[in-house]
Amino acid sequence: MTADNANTVIVTGASRGIGRAIALRLAKQHFSVVVGYAAKADQAEAVVREIADHGGQALAVRVDVADPGQVATLFATARTGLGELFAVVHSAGIMPLAPISEADPAVFDAVIATNLRGTFLVLQQAARHVVPGGRIVSLSSSVLAKSFPGYGPYIASKAGVEGLTRVLANELRGREISVNAVAPGPVATDLFLAGKTPEQIDQLRKLAPLERLGQPEDIAGIVSFLLGPDGAWINGQILRANGGFA
């Protein structure tokens, strides 16, 4: 099986926000989409229905990306239900904020478990099951360049994501599989907006020279490009999709 006759894509964190926008965009490109989600089954099923309503194929699979057994099941279910994997887009993540001096170590552990261990486990399965000529994309963050107070655990986890991305790109030499990460700047999602005042949001909006928050569809467009024919020569890269934020 090669990329020429495989069209299934797994998108983790696809029940809302950036992941949801990616899933819907890829379905419009005639990919069959596995909607990976951690909770909110109703939201995941709503994404599946929206894809089906537009003539696409999709199924929802609940997965804790920090659990190796559940991640393996996600991949097995995807291949059994929709066919061989052309691509994996790992969008699942959490972002609790607290100063390093005050953060509960349990919060740090949770962020690392979901954002970094989860990426490792998803990339591991992707490396085993994506067909030759396929694509692997993870989500990092442009906040790495800013070192904002309160983002310590999140930035630590996303720095690890970028390291794993570059290493896996080298490890898959000879299989024609590209491995990249997309690093959004501030994007108007529930994850980003939670806990911020209108004043803080407005301040962040003005940081980019384009003076707006990104939209989930902006990031979905970058992922769409990476999975399309024009993105085939990009490999081992971190694409900072942020309007000039960093």
**Tens of pLDDT along 117-169?**
999 999 999 999 999 999 999 999 999 999 999 999 999 999 999 999 999 99
Is residue 151 among the annotated active site residues?
A: no
Q: Are 150 and 108 in contact (CB under 8 A)?
A: no
Residues paired with 9 in a beta bridge: 33, 87
pLDDT, tens only, 56-75? 999 999 999 999 999 999 99
The SS3 assignment for 58 reads strand
Give me the mean pLDDT over the 18-34 stretch.
97
pTM of this structure: 0.95
Q: Domains, the chain, ranges and CATH?
A: 7-185+215-239 (3.40.50.720)
Distance of alpha carbon 25 from alpha carbon 234, whole angstroms: 20
Catalytic one among 31, 75, 108, 154? 154
